[in-house]
Amino acid sequence: MLVLTRRLGETIVIGDDIVIKIVDIHGKQIRVGIEAPTEVSVYRGEIYDRIMLENKAAAQASNNHQALTELKTLLVSEEKGNSR
């Protein structure tokens, strides 16, 4: 991890197109401005963590749905085989 000290108004440049600027300092809080291309997603850490949890839950639900669909298909084909 790179740790930098910046003063009010100073910037940090990431790559060619992301600029982070210190826009305000008030006590222990620092306001940061971020300029990035629209195709680059920028999230607060706690929001990003929540998105990842929800994506994982959705993927699990999708896997569960797929497994249940496959089980239903097997049961239906087994019923058809037993009814003959």
- pLDDT per position in the chain (84 positions), as tens? 999 999 999 999 999 999 999 999 999 999 999 999 999 999 999 999 999 998 888 878 777 777 777 777 777 777 777 665
- Identify the three-state secondary structure at position 54: helix
Give yes or no for a contact between 72 and 53, defined as CB atoms under 8 angstroms apart.
no
Residue type present at position 15: G
φ, ψ of residue 48 in degrees (nearest 5): -60, -45
The conformation of residue 22, written as its DSSP 8-state character, comes to: E
Taking alpha carbons only, the member of 25, 23, 46, 42 closest to residue 33 is 23
Q: What is the value of pTM for the model shown?
A: 0.62
- Identify the three-state secondary structure at position 7: coil
